[in-house]
Homo-oligomer: A and B are copies of this chain.
Amino acid sequence: MKAIAKAPGKAILTGEHFVVYDQPALVMAIDRFISVTVAKRPDTSIRISSTLGYTGTFEGEKFHSEQGGGAAQRILTPVHISASAVLDAVNHRCGLNINVDSEIPVEVGLGSSGALAVATVSAVGRLFDIAFSEPEVVNLSLEAERYVHNNPSGVDQTVSTYGGVIQYRKNQSAIRLEVESPLSLVIGNTGVRRETGRLVDSVRARRTRIPDVMDRVIRSAGVLTTKAVDALKSGNVSLLGELMDVNHGLLVAAGVSSIELDRLVHAARSGGALGAKLTGAGGGGCVLALVPDERQDTVSRAIQDADGVPIKVNKVEGGVHSWINE
């Protein structure tokens, strides 16, 4: 008997970075998924294999790498933490075989680690016939976050769990928005890995040096997200696009863009996007372009011509789901 869970990645529509300063952010689940399959083992080992090319076994504190060399332990530890968190929660001590299959690029701000934790928690829960509530999934998924340390806000885990579009604010309950319009996007991956922690620190340092200016920029971003929520609710997709353009400028002001990101933003706009911005921590990672349905191909080509890797994505309403495969 196997349990399988599938969780979506995410893209930040508006508000990244400024969310640290108590401003709201808008985050959307995208139709790119991580699937986690788990089965019980007769021993107490946890063997994890990822299609990214890493395999290894955890036996208590010990780790044996089978594929992917020294990096395997770092890559697979979050999965081990998530699985162990569930085993602890359900008070079981058994071994597991875990297979991870991901279509979300890693370390570019598309929420792959959050989705991985959410899918692992849901799959292991399902294996023991436990249907965790959504808040429980988010909570258990946050255990791995303490190791990965990519997104301490928990927004990635929240959106992977609930799906759809989430209005998020630090230390407040996430609000799931009812958004009727389909949202077509093209993500453009620069291929440059970003260093979230360093970028968050650099924004903080800039704010410390020029608080009068940066507090106003931060507040502009908060108001911008509120307007983006209104635009989504009223189906005004082109206004959402313009707000994304403005949001990109505020992120440039915060100092987190790069020539690779700016190049893809301009390419997407020239290709007919309604708006484009960097998404996530910046420095590297991805841009996000909001596009009319019929222009997903044109914008994808424009991003490719500007040395980016385009990924066509759409809003997905469902969050993580899990099932048993006998």
Q: Interface on A for B, CB 8 Å cutoff?
A: 206, 209-210, 212-214, 216-217, 219-220, 223-224, 227, 239, 242-243, 245-255, 257-259, 262-263, 266-267
The A contact surface, by secondary structure, is: helix
Cross-chain contact B253 with A246 (CB below 8 angstroms): yes
From known contacts A249-B249, A249-B252, A249-B253, infer whether A223 and B212 are also in contact, taking CB-CB under 8 Å.
yes
Cross-chain contact B246 with A210 (CB below 8 angstroms): yes
Within the oligomer, what is the number of copies of this chain?
2
From known contacts A220-B220, A246-B253, A249-B254, infer whether A209 and B262 are also in contact, taking CB-CB under 8 Å.
no
From known contacts A213-B224, A220-B213, A258-B266, infer whether A249 and B246 are also in contact, taking CB-CB under 8 Å.
no
From known contacts A212-B223, A227-B210, infer whether A253 and B250 are also in contact, taking CB-CB under 8 Å.
yes
Cross-chain contact A259 with B253 (CB below 8 angstroms): no
A252 to B212, CA, bound (A): 20
A6, chain B: closest CB distance, angstroms: 37
A-B contact pairs, 17 of them (CB 8 A): A206-B246, A209-B239, A210-B224, A210-B242, A210-B243, A212-B227, A213-B223, A214-B246, A216-B220, A217-B220, A220-B253, A245-B253, A248-B253, A249-B249, A249-B252, A258-B266, A259-B266
Cross-chain contact A245 with B255 (CB below 8 angstroms): yes
A227 to B212, CA, bound (A): 9
The chain B residue sitting closest to A231, CB to CB, is B210
